[in-house]
Structure 1
Amino acid sequence: MKKIKKTNAARILDDLKIQYELKTYPVDEEHLDAVHVAKEVGMPPEQVFKTLCVRGDKTGVLFAVIPGNGELDLKALARASGNKSCEMVHLKEVLPLTGYIRGGCSPLGAKKEYPVFMDETCRLFDRIAISAGMRGMQILAGPEDLVRATRATVVMLTM
């Protein structure tokens, strides 16, 4: 059995004594979307949450954590985060800002601790999946534990 190398995100959960499972899956460069990842880890897409890097006009960079099959409502995020408007961070900026690449962005363990806003549908499940901070690995944990670990504000973020 191959030992799984822990990511910074997993070590943060360890430090907080939060129970979680690391689930690995084969990376397909052509299909980095959360719906594909959900299929790979055997969970419904609405239970596999993707982390989007967003910039607010007043607050700067923040993370929106939404269901894999959901679409971010930028107006709802702006309202929740105290911004007039929000826009997606350009892909080429994500790595320098967060330390993460597309398909491996986690709300835990980024270069800086950015504010996290998590879609309220996370509370519909006993466990949800988020990126462990690298392609090919997901963290499965209780939503309330992840809310606590990320210090997330839980609001409706999807259309």
Structure 2
Amino acid sequence: MPESSPAGRERVLAAAERLGLDVQVTERPAAASLAEAAALLGITPADIVKSLVVRRKAGEYLFVLVPGDAQISWPKLRAAAGANKLMLPPADEAFEATGYTRGTITPLGSTVAWPVFAAPDIRGRRVSMGAGEHGASLFVDGDALLAALDATIADITDPLP
């Protein structure tokens, strides 16, 4: 599987520009956990948006955006997406569906503009998310991001244990 590269960041920035999003990309050292990444960025874990690609059925995916202090609630997500079965695809399949490796996945600049489902907690705050390559974080207004992506906002999370 190909490695992430600066080309991923370029795709993210080009997509943000096309969507009229005001973004800032910050370099950061590798982090061993989401909490460590938040500390390095000077934000809370809730301000980091995890971008996940989820398989609806063979060849059909969706993006799920959840705050760093939450996890996907599979029953809630299935209800919101109108799907009986959803699953996280293997890393190579996620790359094929998005053009990004795990840890860099974002709807911005994805090879296909899959539907986006997002937790309501992303609204009303400036958030950080993947920038298409390892070692970089993108900051953007959560409301502007969700509007630009035409995201379906739904209660799709549970607190982390």
TM-score calculated relative to the size of structure 2: 0.84
Which residue in the other structure is 2:24 paired with? 21
Hey, what's the Cα distance between the residues in 2 that align with 1:34 and 1:10?
23
Residue type of the alignment partner of 2:12: A
List, as ranges, runs of 4+ consecutive aligned residues in structure 1 with deviation greater than 6 Å. Answer: none
Hey, what's the Cα distance between the residues in 2 that align with 1:85 and 1:76?
12
Which residue in the other structure is 2:143 paired with? 144
**8 Å CA contact 2:49, 2:127 repeated in 1:** yes
TM-score calculated relative to the size of structure 1: 0.85
Report how many residues are paired.
Answer: 152
Q: How does 1:10-159 map to 2 (within 5 A)?
A: 10-28=13-31, 31=32, 33-57=33-57, 60-125=60-125, 127-159=126-158
**Most deviating of 36-45 and 99-108:** 36-45
Which residue in the other structure is 2:3 paired with? none
- Secondary structure of the corresponding residue to residue 95 of structure 2: helix
Residue type of the alignment partner of 1:10: L
User: Identity of counterpart residues, as a percentage?
Assistant: 25
Bigger relative contact order, structure 1 or 2 (CA pairs below 8 A, ≥6 apart):
2
Hey, what's the Cα distance between the residues in 2 that align with 1:27 and 1:53?
22
Hey, what's the Cα distance between the residues in 1 that align with 2:10 and 2:98?
14
Gap regions ≥5 residues in structure 1: none
Q: 1:58 to 1:93 in 2, by over 3 A?
A: closer
